[in-house]
A = this chain, B = another copy of it.
Amino acid sequence: MKRQPTPDQLLLDQQLCFALYAASRSVTGLYRPLLEPLGLTYPQYLVMLVLWERDGLTVSELGQRLQLDSGTLTPLLKRLQGAGLVARQRRKEDERVVDIHLTDAGLALRDKASGIPECLAQCMQLSLDQMQTLRDELKRLTRQIQLSPSED
């Protein structure tokens, strides 16, 4: 009458997916107290990273870079606009497109964020080399996944 034990492949601790999911949320949690003084959430910070790197992208270009769709980005960008960090403007030549530009305040915020990466590296207790290796493995995995899926 004893139940079958769960097969090994279904054990939580065996799952790469859960290790990823847990690590991602943990790291986001590390950012939270660092971003709070800047008035940013973690996904908002990612948008700012992209814009600091190259200002004046469209919503869909931001979406390609971050792998997020307009259902996520539109309200997020409206909040950044509300915080005075970006401007959203429909393009004259093609009214379908919305260009996102940093405001002065948005650009200025970069300086306040510049210490964050080092702070994170400290907390994670990884050497620069370990960090790069792990990052590149994860990138490879992501690329692999985005290549293979159900071709239609």
**Which residues of A does B touch, CB under 8 Å?**
3, 6-7, 9-12, 14-31, 33, 42, 46, 49-50, 52-53, 55, 65-67, 107, 110, 113-114, 117-118, 120, 123-126, 131, 134-139, 141-142, 144-146, 148-150
Contacts and interface: CB of A to CB of B under 8 A. Distances in A.
A33 to B, nearest CB: 7
A120 B17 CA distance: 9
Contacts of A142: 19, 22-23, 26
Within the oligomer, what is the number of copies of this chain? 2
Contact of A50 (B12, B27, B123, B149): B12
Given A12-B46, A141-B126, A24 B24 contact: yes
A142 to B, nearest CB: 5
B17 A20 contact: no
A49 B15 contact: yes
Nearest to A4: B110
A138 B13 CA distance: 12
A19 B50 contact: no
A6 B52 contact: yes
Contacts of A3: 55, 107
